Amino acid sequence: MFKKPRWLRWKGGKPQDEAGWKDRIDMERLPQHIAIIMDGNGRWANARGLPRTAGHRAGMGTLHEIVDASGEIGLKILTVYAFSTENWKRPPEEVDFLMHLMVEYIVKELAELHEKGVQIRLMGDIEDLPGDTRNEMKNAIEVTRNNQGLVLNIAVNYGGRSEILRAVKQVCAEVRGSRLAPEEIDEELFGRLLYTEGCADPDLVIRPSGEMRLSNFMLWQIAYSEFWFDRILWPDFHREHLYQAIVEFQQRHRRYGGL
C-alpha cells in the first residue's frame, strides 16, 4: 500500500490530508493538457541497491497508474516524456532495455487502453527506433486512432529543439517551392507543423525527482505552462501526487502577460 514519505505527509508543521486531494479538485476547471517529465527511475533503483533497469520497470507501473487516473477524472490530454534524443548517449544495454520495455508496455496495455477509449499518439522521430519498437507503436496508433477518450502522447526519440528545426525546414521548403509566402508565416501555421498538431498546449508541466529544468521538452508549447516540481522519484509518484499538482495548479492565477 502506498505510504507517503514524511516530507509529503507534513508541510508547514501540519499533517496533510492524504485522501483528500481528489475531492479538492474543481472538475469544472481541469487543465486540458498535462505534460509529465518522467524522471528518477535510475536514482530510485540505486537507492535500493537494484540495477537501473529495475527502476525503469517500476516507472512503467507508475505510468499505468497515472494514465488510469487521468482517464478517470476526465483529463483530455496527457503527454509523457519517455525517451529523449539525448538518451541515446546512455549505455547501449540500457537503451536496448528501454526499447524492449516500451514494446512490453504497449503489448500489455493496448487492449485495456483501447477498451477505455484512450487514443495513443507519438511525438518524435520514430523511424530511427528499432523495428519491433517502431512497429508496435505504429500499431497502437492505428488501433486507437478513432478513440474519443484521453489522448496519450508518448514522446519517444523526442527533443524540443529538433522538433522546432523540423518545423523550420518544412516552412523553408514551402517558401522555396512558392507554396507559402513569408508574410503568411505565423504562430498558428508553425504550430500545425509540430508533433502536437491539433492538441492544446500543456496547461501544467509536472517534473518529479527534484530536478528543476525542462531537459529539451516541448520548448515551443510550454511558453505559458504552469510548472509543478517535486523531489519524489517517478516510481514513487502516485495518483495522489497528480491530484495534488492539479489542486495547486487551480489555485494559481494565469495572466498570460496581462494583469
223's grid cell: 511558453
Reply yes or no on whether the pLDDT at 18 is more than 90: no
For the cut 80, the answer to whether the pLDDT of residue 8 exceeds it is no
- Structural contact between residues 128 and 166, judged by C-beta atoms closer than 8 angstroms: no
% of the chain at pLDDT higher than 70: 92
Kindly name the residue from 23, 26, 41, 87 that is annotated as catalytic: 87
How many other C-beta atoms are found inside a 10 Å radius of the C-beta of residue 185? 13
Q: Would residue 87 show up in a list of annotated catalytic residues for this protein?
A: yes
pLDDT digits (tens, 9 = 90+) for 116-146: 999 999 999 999 999 999 999 999 999 999 9
Residue 147 pLDDT more than 50?
yes
| pLDDT tens sequence across 90-102 | 999 999 999 999 9
Q: What is the pLDDT of residue 256?
A: 77
CA distance 61 to 112: 14
Question: Does the active-site annotation cover 68?
Answer: no
Number of H helices, E strands in the chain: 8, 8
Strand ranges inside the chain, DSSP E: 10-11, 14-15, 33-37, 77-84, 119-123, 151-158, 204-207, 226-229
Catalytic residue among 39, 201, 203, 236: 39
Domains along the chain? 30-159+231-250 (3.40.1180.10)
